[in-house]
Structure formats: C-alpha cells, structure tokens
Structure 1
Amino acid sequence: METRQLHGTPGGLRTLARAALPVLPVVNQLPGVRKAPAGSFSGLSFARAGAEVQRADVEAYAAVCAFPRKDTVPLPYPHLLAFPLHMAIMADPAFPYAAIGMVHLENTITAHRAIGVGEVLDLTTAVGAPRPHARGALLDFVTSVTSGDDVVWESVSTYLRRGVRTDGEPDAPLVVGDPLSGGVQWRLPGDLGRRYAAVSGDHNPIHLYPLTARALGFPRQIAHGMWTLARSVAAIENRLPDAVSVEVAFRKPVFLPGTVAFAERADDGTHTFSLSNPSDGSPHLVGRATPA
C-alpha cells in the first residue's frame, strides 16, 4: 500500500470543504474531485512526520473534555493529531466514498505509555478494503503513532458507509458490555460541538448549529463521538494505567443541548462504562478499558 506524506498545515476548514465536494452534483465529476469506483479500492495510507505536542493545544483540549492539566497528554489526544490524516484519506479521489455520510461506529485506542507534552511524534493512518456490514460497508482507519523508534499509541476508528454492497459475511460488532444504569448526569450546552470543533479541527456541520445539522438530516446539532469518548475517559482516567486499551461502540447520537448519564463499573482491573439518555436509558456509548 502506498503511503503519501501530508505536508504543510494539516486539517482545518479547507480540508473539510474539499472532503465535502464529492456530494455536490456536477462538481463531483470534476477532475481531482471525482471519486474512483468503489470496487477498485484496495487501500490508502497517509503519514505525518514531526508533529510536536504543543502545551497550549493539549490544555485547550483538556479543558473542553474535562481532563486535568498535566505534563502528559490525555489518552485520546493523539486522535486530534491523526484526524488530518483521516480527512486526507477521505478527501483523496482514490478513496471511493465522500466524507459526508461516513458514520463513526466504533473506536479502539491502545496507549503503550504516557506521551509527554513537547514530544515530537510521527503518525501514519491507513485504511484497507471495505468489510461487509448489514447496512453497508465498514472501513477501518488504523493509526500508529511513534516516538523515535517506539510505537507509543495506536487506534482503530471504524466507519460505516451505508448502502454500499461488499462481498462476504458481516463480522460480529464490537461487544464491550451492556449499558449501565444510574450514574451521574452531565448537562451539555448547545455550543459544545463548536467548542470541540475549535480544538479538534472536526468542523463537520452536523456538530455546529441546528440549521447545518438539519441540512444533513438531524433535528439539531449532535455532540462529536470522540468528545463523548474523551469525556467518559476523563471521568475514570485517574484509575487507569499508562498502558491501557479503551474500546468504545457508539450507539445513538447526543443532541445538543442535552443531558446524559454517565455510569461505570470496575471488575478486576477492567472498567466498563456507558453514556445514556437519562429519560429512557437508551445508550449513546458503551465502552471498556483494560490494561494493555
């Protein structure tokens, strides 16, 4: 699989706009925008070298996601450094699907050690051929983060592309436990999506305003899935080891403003947690953290 280097200032609204062009009629047939046929896609990889972990960026992220200020980064933080690689892949004409409409279903993060503020990291994200799913096709965005010669952080972000046919039998979904009842309630403000977008670079319109969310089929804006993951991890991070694996399945969107209930349980070093609608108990997220 060819690995392409990401140069210059990565991410931002320009990258998101470029990724959205393939959903526009006529424009989506222009050279450099027109997507390759789905059946021809076998994989694509992008790399980013020399990404320095900046204290101001880490502290801004920590504030939005309720992590404490430390000299090491919050567990999910490297996803922000890898997100421009995700977008570069989705915006590339060789990737057969438009970024708008990709649904984040699952995420697994494995940290092999704590990453310090000021470290310089190299990142690679690769996606292979799609896997079958009952509602379409799954694509696994696999990220590896290295410091020097050591792999320090890895993740797999699994996206669903609805309505795409792929040969084979669907794999079993990620099973991390059942939603937990009770817990503490968090009130989430209407501008949470805009605040997280400002620190993450993920300006998907479904997260920003009621008007932009309605244009894409939602009654109002929804929280980022990676914010719900980060906020859940922040609630238990002082009980997790530096080498840890976190697996999360995203269920139902969190509408903003809104209220969610967070609950967690610890059993022999494994932490199971969930984020639910306090009115009816329906889950937004279920997750598990285990020593790596």
Structure 2
Amino acid sequence: MYAKAVLGLLPRSRPAELPSTVLTTAITVDRAHLARYNEVCGFRHGDILPATYPHVLGFAAMMRLMTGWDFPFPVVGLVHIANRITQVRPIRADEPLELSVHAADLRPHRRGRQFDIVMTGTVDGEEVWREVSTNLRRGSSPSTVSAGGDASTESESERGSERELPAAQAFWRVARSDADAYAEVSGDRNPIHTSYLGARLLGFPRPIAHGMWTKARLLAALAGHLPESFTVDVAFKAPILLPAKVGFAVPDGRDLIVFGKRPHLVGTLR
C-alpha cells in the first residue's frame, strides 16, 4: 500500500470527485494484538474494545480506498485534521464486527480542499460505532469542488481551539519509541512519524506523534469516567515533535485539550 502511495505522486489525470466505492471487512479481533494496542496507548487490558481501536482495524481498508486509481488526490501529503468517533455501545472482543469504509463530502477549506473518510462498525446489522476522519489536501480551492460548506467551515472542536491554556491535570512524556510502537501496532508507518529524513522531507524538524495515538492516549487517561455511549470530536492542531512533554486537561468535563506551549489537540466529549 505504501508503494502505491508513492506511485500516486506520479503526474496523471485524476477524477474530480470522490469514488463511490464502499469497502467492507469482517473483523475477528486478535487478542494479542488488542493487548499490544492497549499497552502502547495506555488502556487497561480487558474484553471491551477501546473506542479508537476499530480505527486501527479498518486502517488497511482506508489506505486501499485512498490509494485507488479512482481517488482524486495522492495519499502522500494529505493532512489528518480532525476525527470524530461515536461509540453507540461498548463492543466486546468476541463479537462479529463488520467495518465499512467510504469517502464523503468533498468540500472547500480555507487552505485547500477537505473530505471525510467514514467508517462504520456493525454487529449483526446493528451500527455500534462510527468514525469520521477529515483530511485536508493543501492548495487552491477551485469552484468545481462539490458543495458541502464554504471555505471557512470548521468543526465545533476547531472553532473552540482559540483559548487560554488551562492548568494541566497530568503530563505525559512522549518518546520516539512511542511513535515506533504505535506505527507497528496500527500499521500507520508514515515516515513523518518514524524517520528523521522522512519528517524533514515533509517539513518537520523531527518525527511527530501520530494524531490517533494522541487521541487514544487521551481516552485512556479518561478510563473509568466515560459513559457507555459517547461522541469524542477532536481537531489536530500543532504537531507533537518528538521527544516531548505535553499536558492534558478536561477543564469542564466536556472540552478536551492536549498541549505544550500551544494546543496539539482540542476537542469535545459529549
């Protein structure tokens, strides 16, 4: 898939619209893999899937979709700017989970164009989980982009990002080894996370933490305080350059923030 991603940088004619493809995968949870994911992200071990774990289970399907020849953008250079997960109910590791992935809502953004990768999880035909990952393609925002909002449109979590930094409720030290471990367990081996050369080629002085590791680590810190049904909506702001020390806070039980000298992740829990 990464070879296809690199080949996607070669100049060629691309479609103007997102594909209508829907990829569906039947999932059998590997308990050893789940245990390793829990260890890497800070979750307690157990038979209930963390709310961020289906993202990892569907990552290969997401990559297949975005590296297809009918996709309008090369996957290299896309920026994951926001992620919303809704857990309808807890999912047990022994349940027959089915994941479906499709692209939706190509629309302008003030820095280019954005679109969503939507993943749904069902058990026996009942939707139990949903994720919307918003990705940005930097560049001009032509008038031919599909309708879906103007270029200034931002998620609720993005609009709430301009705030005074709160007092940290805890601090995390994030090492290079954390990025390597998450890359291995998630399959997301983007070199901006694992290689100094890869990071520098894409404009970062050092490797950066995975945004979905940061979100998972935040939810792990809230273990025991989350309801069975919830939505957690975050925007990824400044990257976490590794190694780093970051603070996190949930100042009012609803707003979420991970920050250093400035916010790295902001969001809401409802």
Normalised TM-score (structure 2): 0.91
2:42 alignment counterpart: 66
The 8 Å contact of residues 60 and 199 in structure 1, kept in 2 or not, is answered as yes
Match of 1:165 among 141, 164, 168: 141
| Alignment-mate amino acid for residue 64 of structure 1 | V
Q: How big is the shift at 1:125? A: 1.0
C-alpha displacement of 1:44: 3.2
Q: Secondary structure at the match of 1:45?
A: coil
Contact 1:46 1:88 in 2 (8 A): no
Aligned 8 A contact 1:35 1:94 in 2: no
Cα deviation, 1:102-141, whole Å, max 9, x if unaligned, reads 0011100001111111222111111135200111000111
Q: Which moved more, 1:154-163 or 1:80-89?
A: 80-89
Name the CA distance, whole Å, in 2 between partners of 1:35 and 1:66.
44
Whether the 8 Å CA contact 2:110–2:152 is kept in 1: the answer is: no
Aligned length in residues: 260
Alignment of 1:101-250 (within 5 A): 101-167=77-143, 169-176=150-157, 177-178=160-161, 180-183=165-168, 184-250=170-236
Q: Is the 8 A contact 2:101 2:119 kept in 1?
A: yes
Q: Please, which moves more after superposition, 198-207 or 208-217? A: 208-217
Offset from partner CA, 1:188-211 (integer Å, 9 cap, x none): 111221110100000101000212
Distance 1:261 1:129 in 2: 34
Identity %: 39
Shift of 1:164: 4.1
Structure 1 runs of 4+ aligned residues shifted over 4 Å read none
1:171 offset after TM fit, Å? Answer: 5.0
* CA RMSD across the alignment: 1.6
Partner of 1:5: none
Equivalent residue number for residue 30 of structure 2: 54
Cα pair 1:206 1:213 within 8 Å, conserved = yes
Cross-structure match for 2:268: 288
- Structure 1, 182-191 or 202-211: larger mean CA deviation: 182-191
Say yes or no: does 1:90 pair with 2:62: no
CA deviation string 1:13-69 (max 9, x = no partner)? xx122122122xxxx25xxxx4523x2x24333323321112111111111110000
Asked whether the 8 Å contact 1:35–1:93 carries over to 2, the reply is no
- Aligned counterparts of 1:44 and 1:203: Cα–Cα separation in 2: 27
After TM superposition, the structure 1 stretch with the greater mean CA deviation from structure 2, 49-58 or 140-149, is 49-58
Matched residues in 2 for 1:127 and 1:170: separation? Answer: 19
DSSP 3-state at the match of 2:102: strand
Are 1:47 and 1:122, in contact at CA under 8 Å, matched by a contact in 2?
no
Is the contact between residue 18 and residue 72 of structure 2 (CA under 8 Å) also seen in structure 1? no
CA–CA distance in structure 2, aligned partners of residues 22 and 119 of structure 1: 36
- Residues 110 and 141 of structure 2 are in contact (CA less than 8 Å); yes or no, is this contact kept in structure 1? no
1:116–1:212 Cα change, 3 Å: same
**Superposition deviation, residue 101 in structure 1:** 0.5
**Mapping 1:269-288, distance limit 5 Å:** 271-277=254-260, 280=261, 282-288=262-268
Residue 100 (structure 2) pairs with residue 100 (structure 1) = no
- What letter is aligned with 1:284? H
Report SS of the residue matched to 2:130: strand
Quick one: which of 253, 261, 264 aligns to 2:250? 264
Q: Is the 8 A contact 1:54 1:118 kept in 2?
A: no
Q: Distance in 2 between matches of 1:233 and 1:20?
A: 33
- Structure 1 residues 249-276: Cα deviation after superposition (integer angstroms, max 9, x where no partner): 1100001111111111244xxx221001
Letter in 1 for 2:172: W
TM-score (norm 1): 0.84
